[in-house]
Amino acid sequence: MTGPHPAEIDTSTPHPARMYDWYLGGKDNYPVDESMGRQMLALDPRVPVMARVNRAFMHRSVTWLAQHGVRQFLDVGTGIPTEPNLHQIAQRIVPDARVVYCDNDPIVLAHAEALLRGTDEGVTQYLQADVRDPDAIVEGAREVLDLDRPVALSLIALLHFVPDEDGAHELVSRLLSELPSGSYLVMTHATADFTPEESEVAAGKLRAAGVTLALRSREEFTRFFDGLELVEPGVRVPHQWHPELGDPVPGQDDGVIPGYGAVGRKP
């Protein structure tokens, strides 16, 4: 794997991976990301809590999956590494877990080395690809994962960057169609259901800066799980999904977390 040419990292517009890194207190972001992050904070000071709640959902859902025998993970929209990363959570429980990470942002590729340090028994690999090119993802994943055995497909805080015009629901169906029975879909997604006006202002600001935000209702989110069996407790605000599997995020109950999380099993 080769790193991106520095010229590939566009520092003139905000990028979701780098804004998210800024919310989480990371250092892999640029002034343009911080500036847009601050605008989001001015609209809702709880944005960093939301980012942590989302990350904590990833920790708990991967813990649940590993505890339920899942040994293979395909994580699309990985983000800039933030410990613990998905493979570290999975391999603590299943040391030989195999994980393929995938993101379309060159900044993630630049930091991918941190995603590749796992257990000796397990395997981690990084693939630079866009979720709108599912064939490339499946082809790359096949080199590391046995697609005849169950895989957890995690699309965490990713699909609200993919509008309906790009076929968000069809892309998920296409990826799942390559995975066998016993595989899982793991998702979180932003919504405007709880705070319609604030969410619309935030989406408008991001849109003006070149970042698409496709906020989806509970029903539109649930539709990603069509044909799957939702794992109890079903669709929830992310921190209410199996809270017993992790520590609460400070501030998570102080107001609305405008998102949904769920896990579904392919029958």
Ligand X SMILES: C[S@@+](CC[C@H](N)C(=O)[O-])C[C@H]1O[C@@H](n2cnc3c(N)ncnc32)[C@H](O)[C@@H]1O
Taking CB under 6 A as the binding criterion, the range among 61-69, 100-108, 115-123, 196-204 that sits at the site for ligand X is 100-108
Beta carbon of residue 239, minimum distance to ligand X (angstroms, whole number): 14
- Of 183, 115, 174, residue with least CA distance to 147: 183
Taking CB under 6 A as the binding criterion, the range among 142-150, 153-161, 190-198, 255-263 that sits at the site for ligand X is 153-161
Taking CB under 6 A as the binding criterion, the range among 2-10, 66-74, 150-158, 224-232 that sits at the site for ligand X is 150-158
88 in contact with ligand X (CB under 6 A): no
Q: Which of 73, 161, 184, 224 binds ligand X (CB under 6 A)?
A: 161
Quote the CA–CA distance of 125 and 115 in Å, as a whole number: 8
Place of tokens 């044909």: 227
Quote the CA–CA distance of 85 and 193 in Å, as a whole number: 29
130 in contact with ligand X (CB under 6 A): yes
Q: Which of 37, 48, 77, 259 binds ligand X (CB under 6 A)?
A: 77
Quote the CA–CA distance of 206 and 15 in Å, as a whole number: 10
Residue 74's DSSP bridge partners are 100, 153
Do residues 74 and 102 lie in contact, with contact meaning Cβ atoms separated by under 8 Å? yes
* Cβ proximity to ligand X, 156 vs 228, nearer residue: 156
Residue type, 90: A
Shortest-Cβ-distance residue relative to ligand X: 79
Beta carbon of residue 96, minimum distance to ligand X (angstroms, whole number): 23
104 in contact with ligand X (CB under 6 A): yes
Q: How many residues bind ligand X (CB under 6 A)?
A: 22
Quote the CA–CA distance of 41 and 232 in Å, as a whole number: 33
Beta carbon of residue 133, minimum distance to ligand X (angstroms, whole number): 8
215 in contact with ligand X (CB under 6 A): no
Q: Which of 36, 40, 115, 156 binds ligand X (CB under 6 A)?
A: 156
Quote the CA–CA distance of 102 and 78 in Å, as a whole number: 6
Taking CB under 6 A as the binding criterion, the range among 31-39, 60-68, 127-135, 174-182 that sits at the site for ligand X is 127-135
Quote the CA–CA distance of 177 and 174 in Å, as a whole number: 5
SS3 content of the chain, % helix, strand, coil (to 5): 40, 15, 45
55 in contact with ligand X (CB under 6 A): yes
Quote the CA–CA distance of 234 and 208 in Å, as a whole number: 34
Cβ atoms within 10 Å, residue 208: 9
Residues contributing to the site for ligand X (CB under 6 A): 16-17, 20, 54-55, 58, 76-79, 103-105, 108, 130-132, 156-158, 161-162
